[in-house]
């Protein structure tokens, strides 16, 4: 049995969120929460919230034991990119891409 949580349209680039997700994938839930708490970037804060939601879903909806939960899947997929423009030299403009992510966390019992 597994429980999942998804956060969509999170304003963090999927590449940076993927690096943070690699830190905790496969670890025990309490250890993963500790790692994410002390990782100093925005993606860690967002992934921690999604992980807490997945743990709550596991406890309340599937009656799983929190002490046996393991992060089985943590991915950061690419969401839509907001495009903004910035003035440059000689009357030109350049595109600024503000990337978004869809964060997905799946926990299951050992």
| Residue 84 CB contacts under 8 Å (≥ 6 apart), including other chains | 95, 96, 98
Instruction: With residue 90 as reference, give the H or E element that holds it.
Output: none
CA geometry: angle 29, 32, 35, nearest 5 deg: 155
Q: Tell me, what's the pLDDT at 54?
A: 96
According to the CATH classification, is domain 2-109 in 3.90.470.10?
yes
Tens place of pLDDT per residue across the chain (110 aa): 899 999 999 999 999 999 999 999 999 999 999 999 999 999 999 999 999 999 999 999 999 999 999 999 999 999 999 999 999 999 999 999 999 999 999 999 98
Domain coordinates in residue numbering, the chain: 2-109
Place of tokens 């910035």: 86
pTM: 0.90
Q: Tell me, what's the pLDDT at 45?
A: 96
């Amino acid at each position: 049995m597994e429980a999942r949580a998804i956060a969509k349209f999170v304003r963090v680039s999927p590449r940076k969120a993927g690096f943070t997700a690699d830190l905790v994938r496969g670890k025990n839930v309490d250890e993963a929460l500790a790692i994410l708490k002390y990782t100093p970037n925005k993606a860690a804060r967002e992934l921690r919230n999604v992980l807490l939601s997945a743990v709550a879903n596991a406890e309340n909806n599937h009656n799983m034991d929190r002490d046996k939960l393991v992060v089985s899947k943590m991915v950061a997929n690419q969401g839509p990119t907001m495009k903004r423009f910035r003035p440059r030299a000689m009357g030109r403009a350049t595109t600024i891409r503000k990337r978004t992510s869809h964060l997905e966390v799946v926990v299951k019992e050992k």
